[in-house]
């Protein structure tokens, strides 16, 4: 099993996703600042994995610094959370995980350093375990949407590497594969950082699922030929009305899918749904270094003197989404009502919000 982030011997260990697929190497974080740097430079990426890494970063930071100044645990924790919160703005799982770690702290703040640290480590581990469990449940919910032998187009990497270890969009594809439905995957390469060609293809090859890499510009061509049966992508943040921020290019795929009558699904855990964000216009979109666009794999490719823009995400309006696949079932249009219902039901039944 692929484990992109895990706790080991009072460190946070991550697969270095920047080095894949050429080199499979691990990065060991000894303090929360290492974790923050790893999120920022995309050693770890993918909304759920960022959330898990941040939770473990909080636990690690508290373990290293929480005992330095007894009585000031709250200040220490706030400093740690602030640094982690400032890494990347779009994926809401980051803020959701930090909030959950803070709630955990509040419940045990008077129990002394060792008990607090232990609770925080356990809570971070719980976030990881729950994420894998949610992915597997999403897989069961979504796998019947894949027709036998069907061709699924996906974008970026919403796989084991982007989560606790099974995947959202790729989790659904894995589940369809495990159910003997023989899915075939078209993977958009996903410029600028090529997560599709590098990471999604790597996961699918390991899994024995047939995968064909295409450039981001080819999706329309294959849809027009009837070569794509459905699209499944992950999400970085889903607003209360169902508008979905995901890797740049997702919006274009959704429009293309609509134009060709192809279903377009978003697979995401509830932790990616942000009911405090009313609609897509309220989602902050990270813009990264233009050099990522002017270079490929570190090599300067564009003409000198040219500018570049590098928004990392775009927003797909709710009306282009056929359904959202969550661990609690399929949310079908109208998405705003489905999302409202899901959160109301789970608040009432006493589950963690």
Nearer to a second copy, 56 or 187 (CB): 187
Does 41 qualify as catalytic in the annotation? Answer: no
What phi, psi does 245 have (nearest 5°)?
Answer: -85, 130
Torsion of CA 82, 84, 86, 91, to 10 degrees: -130
Residue 277 token pair: 């964000």
Site for a second copy in 231-260 (CB under 8 A): 248-249, 251-252, 255-256, 259
Specify the stretch interacting with a second copy by CB under 8 A; choose among 125-133, 140-148, 165-173, 201-209. 201-209
- Torsions phi, psi for 335 (to 5 deg): -65, -35
Q: Considering the rule CB under 8 A, would residue 149 count as an interface residue with a second copy?
A: no
> Between the CA of residue 261 and those of 214, 226, 230, 267, 314, what are the distances in Å?
21, 10, 9, 19, 21
Q: How far apart are CA 308 and CA 15, in angstroms?
A: 29
- Of 94, 166, 88, the C-alpha closest to 130 is 166
Candidates 73, 130, 131, 189: give the one binding a second copy (CB under 8 A): 189
Please give the Cα distance from 336 to 197 (Å, whole number): 33
Q: What's the closest the beta carbon of residue 108 comes to a second copy, in angstroms?
A: 43
Question: Considering the rule CB under 8 A, would residue 220 count as an interface residue with a second copy?
Answer: yes
| Among 114, 221, 341, 344, contact with a second copy (rule: CB under 8 A) | 221
Q: Which of 2, 108, 179, 294 binds a second copy (CB under 8 A)?
A: 294
The SS3 of residue 315 is strand
- The single residue among 55, 162, 204, 238 that binds a second copy, judged by CB under 8 A, is 204
Residues with catalytic roles: 236
Q: Site residues (CB under 8 A) for a second copy?
A: 20-22, 187-192, 194, 197-199, 201-202, 204-205, 210-222, 224, 248-249, 251-252, 255-256, 259, 293-294, 296-297, 299-309, 311, 314-315
């Amino acid at each position: 099993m692929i484990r992109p982030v895990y706790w080991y011997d009072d460190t946070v260990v991550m697969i270095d996703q920047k080095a894949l697929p050429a080199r499979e190497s691990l990065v060991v974080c000894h303090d929360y600042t290492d974790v923050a740097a790893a999120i920022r430079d995309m050693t770890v990426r993918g909304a759920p994995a960022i959330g898990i890494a941040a939770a473990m970063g909080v636990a690690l930071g508290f373990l290293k610094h929480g005992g330095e100044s007894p009585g000031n645990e709250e200040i220490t924790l706030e400093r740690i959370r602030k640094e982690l919160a400032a890494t990347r703005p779009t994926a809401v799982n980051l803020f959701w995980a930090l909030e959950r770690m803070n709630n955990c702290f509040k419940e045990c703040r008077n129990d002394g350093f060792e008990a607090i640290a232990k609770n925080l480590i356990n809570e971070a581990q719980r976030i990881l375990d729950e994420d894998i469990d949610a992915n597997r449940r999403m897989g069961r919910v979504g796998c019947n949407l894949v027709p036998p032998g069907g061709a699924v187009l996906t974008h970026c990497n919403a796989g084991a590497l982007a989560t606790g270890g099974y995947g959202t969009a790729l989790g659904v594809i894995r589940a369809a594969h495990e159910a003997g439905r023989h899915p075939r995957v078209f993977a958009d390469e996903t410029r600028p950082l090529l997560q599709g060609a590098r990471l999604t293809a790597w996961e699918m090859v390991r899994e024995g699922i047939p995968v064909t890499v295409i450039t981001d510009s080819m999706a329309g061509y294959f849809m027009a030929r009837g070569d794509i049966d459905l699209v499944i992508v992950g999400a970085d943040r889903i607003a209360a009305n169902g508008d979905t921020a995901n890797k740049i290019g997702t919006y274009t795929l959704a429009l293309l899918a609509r134009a060709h009558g192809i279903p377009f699904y978003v697979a995401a855990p509830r932790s990616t749904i942000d009911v405090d964000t009313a609609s897509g216009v309220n989602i902050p979109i990270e813009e990264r270094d233009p050099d990522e666009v002017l270079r490929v794999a570190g090599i300067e490719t564009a003409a000198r003197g040219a500018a570049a823009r590098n928004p990392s995400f775009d927003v797909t309006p709710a009306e282009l989404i056929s359904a959202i696949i969550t661990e609690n079932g399929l949310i079908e249009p109208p998405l705003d009502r489905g999302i409202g219902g899901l959160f109301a039901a789970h608040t009432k039944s006493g589950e963690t919000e």
